[in-house]
Amino acid sequence: MGLLDRIGVRSPWILHFDTGSCNGCDLEVWALLTPRYDVERFGGVNRANPKQADILLITGPVTKKCEDRLRNLYEQVPEPKLVMACGNCASTGAPFHNCYNVCQGVDKVIPVDVYVPGCAARPEALIDGLIKALSMWEEKARAAREVKG
Amino acid sequence: MSRTTIIPIGPQHPAFLEPLNVSLELKEERVVGATLNLGYNHRGMEHALSLDYKKSQYLVERVCGICSNHHSAAYCQTVEAIYGVEVPERARIIRTITMECQRITSHLLALGHIAEVVGYENLFMQCFRERELVMRLVNEITGNRVHYSTNVIGGVKRDIDAAMERRIEDVMSDLRPRLEELHAIFSRDSTFVKRTKGIGKLTREQAIDWCVVGPVARASGVAQDVREDGFAAYDRVRLRPVVREEGDCYARTMVRMDECLRSVDLIEECLPLLKEGSVVLSVKGHPSGEGISRVEAPRGELMYYVKAIGKLQLDRVKIRTPAFVNVPAVQAMLPGARLADVPVITVSLDPCICCTDR
Ligand code: SF4
């Protein structure tokens, strides 16, 4: 990696949004930030501002009322962006399958790059997903830089 | 004379974990009114739960991940009441132990959250560090960290063996000094005390008017705790409800902190009560009839009503969650507060939107 590339690498900022989850996965996402798992060591920082976010971390099946908000948030996140669906219900809507007020998973509303299974997703699985997301994001960011020249 | 300004907060906001929208009416820096807009988390759980009473034993935990075990305990108790069966003693004690474990994790989450919104990130991390101990213990007892899935109609699925009993004892004796240390920080730290004392007052009269439950009610001097009814094994242990009079954010935090320590006492008291015996009772046929049951979830009284019609489907499942009554009380606490205190007041209620909206 050349010097310029290394300077260009930033810490991606993570935006967490709950689209109707049961809080089970949110708890585990929070546990990730704390001393036991501490994901900040991989370079991701949790910030709640969509305009500055790079990775969108979604928990919960998308409820009808959250659908537009989620789309709105997604549009605000600047390119290159990445979406990570945490938990079974964000991935497929599973436990709430066929509930009248849910859209069955995040990928019915916005494109998803990384799916993390589990109900609730275990912190280890979440870390695994996050590392995948980080490396995908770095690639995307590098590609974007190359296009710009 | 200044005009009022309306500031909408949410559904995505750093101070709230969950989608919740509050419209604040402000005059300069003072809040004069607040309107809540809920429903972002409504999944239609009551309908989904009534489709299959057997699957609902597990689905019911997905109403809320923070108090999942209380939801399943309440649901199972209700269906057991319809069957008219008495759960084996050992199962009731195991349920009590897991429920108290979950109370500790839930309260530590709430404490960590309030520490974070007052800007004390270090304390937030410390709360979560201690919480992780209980999460790991629960993982060993039940095999899961969040949705324990141990309560079934008629008892529990997993027994606690002698080695596990010792393990629980060890963890509890490890946890107690850590909680005491947290207690000392919360009660004495001047930053924390200044940010919470006298903020977001809810008087005893208001608490009764708004029908609040759980720690919020107990912090306003309303001594009310469903555990005194003696469901599960609570009739066998010595309950000492924590009640405070001040009704401010500080009191609500301290009630939770004290309850964590009481929960450790309760778990330790439960362990010697475990006597040999089965942990699950088989029930035959589909349930038929109506049942109602209450448990004390971490946030207060949780009530289930089930109407069964002798089929796999249920006629009606009605859930009254504690957050459903506590969250609207924010409208009584916010008027008169400063804008900067709004997150502290909201979080001190320990709002749980997935319970409220279901
Ligand atoms: S995947 Fe399971 S634990 Fe996670 S938010 Fe959905 S229902 Fe809750």
Q: What is the mean pLDDT of each run of 10 residues along chain B (358 residues)?
A: 75 72 80 80 84 85 87 90 87 89 90 86 87 89 86 86 87 90 87 83 86 88 82 80 85 90 89 83 84 88 88 86 86 81 85 82
Q: What is the pLDDT of residue A7?
A: 47
Sign of CA pseudo-dihedral B316, B321, B324, B325: positive
Domain contains B21: no
How far apart are alpha carbons A126 and B128 in whole angstroms?
Answer: 17
Distances (CA, A) of A58 to A45, A83, A87: 15, 7, 9
Average pLDDT over residues A32-58: 79
Question: A116: part of which helix (H) or strand (E)?
Answer: strand A114-116
Number of other CB atoms surrounding residue B246 within 10 Å: 18
Chain B positions in Cβ-Cβ contact with residue A122 (cut-off 8 Å) = 145
Q: Residue B146: which of A28, A36, A95 has the nearest Cβ? A: A28
Phi, psi of A140 (to 5 degrees): -60, -45
Query: Does residue A78 carry a pLDDT above 60?
Result: yes
Q: From ligand 1's centre to the CA of A60, what distance in Å?
A: 6
Cα angle for residues B161, B92, B309 (degrees, 5° grid): 125
Alpha-carbon A107 to chain mean position: 12
pLDDT-above-70 percentage for chain A: 91
Contact B228, B241 (CB under 8 A): yes
Decide if B59 touches A, using CB distance below 8 A.
yes
At residue A108 the predicted structure's pLDDT band, cuts being 50, 70 and 90, is confident
pLDDT-above-90 percentage for chain A: 0
Contact A28, A121 (CB under 8 A): yes
The set of residues, in sequence order, having a beta carbon less than 8 Å from that of B284 and lying 6+ positions away, is none
How far apart are alpha carbons B150 and B90 in whole angstroms?
Answer: 13
Contact B7, B24 (CB under 8 A): yes
Distance from CA of B47 to the nearest CA of A (A): 8
pTM of the model: 0.87
Query: Does residue A5 carry a pLDDT above 60?
Result: no
Given the candidates 3.40.50.720, 3.40.50.12280, 3.40.630.30, 3.40.190.10, the CATH classification of the domain at A3-144 is 3.40.50.12280
Sign of CA pseudo-dihedral A100, A101, A104, A110: positive
Q: Residue B65: which of A19, A24, A49 has the nearest Cβ? A: A24
Which stretches of chain B are assigned E, i.e. beta strand? 5-9, 21-27, 30-37, 151-152, 155-156, 288-297, 300-309, 314-320
Q: What is the pLDDT of residue A120?
A: 81
Query: Does residue A149 carry a pLDDT above 80?
Result: no
The CA-to-CA distance between both ends of chain B, in Å, stands at 42
Decide if B84 touches A, using CB distance below 8 A.
no
Count up the domains in chain B and report the number: 1
Of A1-10, A135-144, B99-108, B346-355, the one with minimum mean pLDDT is A1-10
Query: Does residue A71 carry a pLDDT above 70?
Result: yes
Dihedral angle computed from the Cα positions of residues B93, B96, B98 and B100, in that order, rounded to the nearest 10 degrees = -140
Find the CATH number of the domain harbouring B296. 1.10.645.10
Average pLDDT over residues A64-84: 84
- B18·A26 Cβ contact <8 A: yes
- Residue B338 gets which letter from DSSP? B
Question: B229: part of which helix (H) or strand (E)?
Answer: none
Chain B positions in Cβ-Cβ contact with residue A26 (cut-off 8 Å) = 17-18, 65
Question: A56: part of which helix (H) or strand (E)?
Answer: strand A55-59
Tokens of B30: 């003072």
Average pLDDT over residues A16-29: 84
Q: Ligand 1: does its nearest atom lie under 6 Å from the Cβ of A95?
A: yes
DSSP, residue by residue, B197-227: TTSS---HHHHHHTT--HHHHHHTT----GG
Query: Which domain does B317 fall in, by range?
Result: 44-322+344-357
